[in-house]
Structure 1
Amino acid sequence: MFYLLLTLFGCMTGVTAVLFGFGGGFVVVPLLYRMLMASHGADDPIGQSAMHIAVATSTCVMIVNALIATAKHHRAGNLIRHYLWPLGGYIGLGAIIGAVAAMWADGEVIRYAFIVYLGITILDCLFRRGFLTQADSAIPRRLGKARVSGVGIGAVATFLGVGGSVMTVPLLRRCGLSMSQATSMANPLSLPVALAGTLTYMAMAHFTEFDLGPWFIGYVDVLAFVILAIGSIVGIRLATPWIGRIPDRVHAWVYVGLLVFVMVSMMLS
């Protein structure tokens, strides 16, 4: 049952990666955290490291999802180069800072930070103009100095084990891009976060006193990663035909609805 759920939720991460730009964290972190706590308990070394394991495995899955989804969107013509660089470089710098900070934080601190992060993002999307609706005549504008905010995006995203799409998508959306374009570019912008987070969690786990077992590289649960990755590839194939076909307003509302669902799930865990 455990592996079946991982496969199904892996498939879901593939769908969300292609259609909404977040390829792992919003699904994998709550799911894996709850499963590890249920199967090992709070006194077991794995249970005590459950949030760190969930975040580390999430960033690893994001590498697969972001790479494949980026290729799909590149072929669909949804990527715009000048929005990707140098914003991606700043995100990469922030990702290193966030990964190191997360290693020294308590698991519960990360979980509550995750919930607060989602709540602020949901309110921002609902009440600040420019996310849910856009004028048809809106002309996209360049990021300008806002690209420096990539350092903060990378740090927060890696600290929480998410790709940063809940910050990059609203940012690009308010630059006048459609939901399809903004969510498409969230995938390549997630790669610096995924790579920095995964490598840091693999390396830094050796400084802890826990021996998590043979199926772990650092904090990354290798078996869970493989199952999730296989499921995500299936999900990406299923979602690809829908690229660019969802009405912009519907796309925006569903995006916010998914964030609400995940936040409630984390609050109840």
Structure 2
Amino acid sequence: MLTSFLVLLFFGCLTGVTAVLFGFGGGFVTVPVVYGVLTATARPGTGADAMHIAVATSAAVMVVNAVAAALVQWRAGRLLRAYVWPLAGFIAAGAAAGSFAATLIGGTALRLLFAAYLLVTITDSLFREGFLTTAPRRVPRPLGRGTVTAGGFGIGLVAAGLGVGGSVMTVPLLRRRGLPMAEATATANPLSVPVALAATLVYALAPTASAATGRLGYVDPTACAALLLGSLPTIAVARRVTGRVPDRVHSAAYVGLLVVVLMVVAVGV
């Protein structure tokens, strides 16, 4: 039990860093970690639902991480309101649908979808122009109506279903609109809040969740506490680094982290 708590605490620290530097809010880190801890400890009532519990717990952690990181970025003046609203509203609508659909999908299928999602994102970031580099002094372009409505709903649908917050879709989107990496990742944090909140509510109230002592639906409060105990202090520390990382290094590190997570998920699949 102590070992599991320390593992979650350590990776909680990592989620704090990724929340500020990459806008992840923790999903890409917490989903495979919580899944691994649950399957390794084989706690009663968690075996069959391990992936659902991991996704649900990840969403609950992201609510706090994304809000905390968004406040840090707002105080630093990096949030761009025009790119946050009304996109966030359509993301919230898609998130409610996506998280409900995920409660009806088997754990193995959910892991395969998670891995496929990572692979597509990595490939797109590496081979489609506009993510790893942006033209000097490029003027940011506004989001189109279709991107805000249908695109926002799609982001929420996929992100909440997989418990990853949505930054893996919003950061490349904003990047290709001409935003520097620091501003794109900063703006991804408030856009992750509606995804995480909608997903947490649906998973916590899911009628398909098996009854287990100490759980709220699919959400594991103990794992949440351990992860947040590590993440919140590191969010305060990581804010001092944001903005000092060169744009090219920042974008390459973003893709590199996705590759690492894909490898971890692939081993579990």
Aligned counterparts, 1:180-199, within 5 A? 180-199=182-201
- Residue 23 of structure 1 is matched in structure 2 by 25
- Residue 105 of structure 2 is matched in structure 1 by 105
Aligned-partner Cα distance in 1 for 2:165–2:211: 28
Aligned-partner Cα distance in 1 for 2:55–2:212: 15
> Alignment RMSD, CA only?
1.0
Identity of aligned residues (%): 53
Among 159, 162, 165, the residue aligned to 1:160: 162
* Code of the aligned partner of 1:256: V
How far did residue 264 of structure 1 move? Answer: 0.4
How far did residue 211 of structure 1 move? Answer: 2.1
Find the residue that maps to 2:240 and give its secondary structure: helix
Q: Moved runs in structure 1, 4+ residues, more than 6 A?
A: none
Name whichever of 110-119 and 225-234 sits farther off: 225-234
Aligned counterparts, 1:246-261, within 5 A? 246-261=245-260
**Normalising by the residue count of structure 2, what TM-score does the alignment of the two structures yield?**
0.96
Structure 2: runs of 5+ lacking an equivalent: none
- Residue 263 of structure 1 is matched in structure 2 by 262
**Could you tell me whether the CA contact under 8 Å between 2:22 and 2:254 is conserved in 1?**
yes
CA deviations on 1:239-265 (whole Å, 9 max, x unpaired) are 111021100000000000000000000
Aligned-partner Cα distance in 1 for 2:125–2:160: 21
* Code of the aligned partner of 2:253: V
Aligned-partner Cα distance in 1 for 2:112–2:252: 25
Q: Does 1:6 align with 2:8?
A: yes
- Residue 123 of structure 2 is matched in structure 1 by 123
CA deviations on 1:52-81 (whole Å, 9 max, x unpaired) are 000000000001101110000001110111
Aligned-partner Cα distance in 2 for 1:221–1:22: 20
- Residue 88 of structure 2 is matched in structure 1 by 88
CA deviations on 1:197-245 (whole Å, 9 max, x unpaired) are 00000111x344x2222x1111110111011111111211221110211
Higher helix fraction (1 or 2): 1
CA deviations on 1:81-133 (whole Å, 9 max, x unpaired) are 11001110110000001011001000111100000000000000001000000
- Residue 178 of structure 1 is matched in structure 2 by 180
Aligned counterparts, 1:27-66, within 5 A? 27-40=29-42, 44-66=44-66
- Residue 245 of structure 1 is matched in structure 2 by 244
